[in-house]
Amino acid sequence: MIDCKTTREYLDSMTAQERAVNGEVASHLESCPDCQLFAEQLELFDHKVSSLLQAVPVPDGLQERLLSSLSQFESAEQDEQVNILKLPVQSHRSQRWTILQRSLIGTVAAVLIVAISLIWTQPEPTSTLNYADAKSTLQKTFSKIDASNWNRLAAFDQQEFQIKHLDRPLRRWTLSEPVGMDLGKSAAHDAAAYQFSYQIQDGPKWSGTLVVLPTAQFSETPKQTEPESSSGMQILEWQSTDGTLTYLVFVDQGSADELANVMFSAIG
Measured between alpha carbons, how far is 49 from 210 in angstroms, rounded to an integer?
27
pTM of the model: 0.54
Bridge partners (DSSP) of residue 219 are 130
88-109 exposure pattern, b = at least 16 Cβ within 10 A, e = fewer: eeeeeeeeeeebeebeeebeeb
Strands 129-130 and 218-219: parallel
Bridge partners (DSSP) of residue 194 are 210
Strands 191-199 and 174-175: antiparallel
How big is the chain by its Cα radius of gyration, in Å? 27
pLDDT by residue for the chain (268 residues), tens digit each? 788 888 888 878 877 667 666 778 788 878 888 888 888 777 777 766 666 666 666 677 767 777 777 777 666 656 555 554 454 544 445 555 565 566 666 666 666 666 665 555 554 444 678 899 989 888 888 888 877 778 778 888 877 677 878 887 788 888 888 888 888 756 678 889 999 999 888 889 999 999 999 998 898 898 888 787 765 678 999 998 888 999 999 999 999 888 888 876 555 4
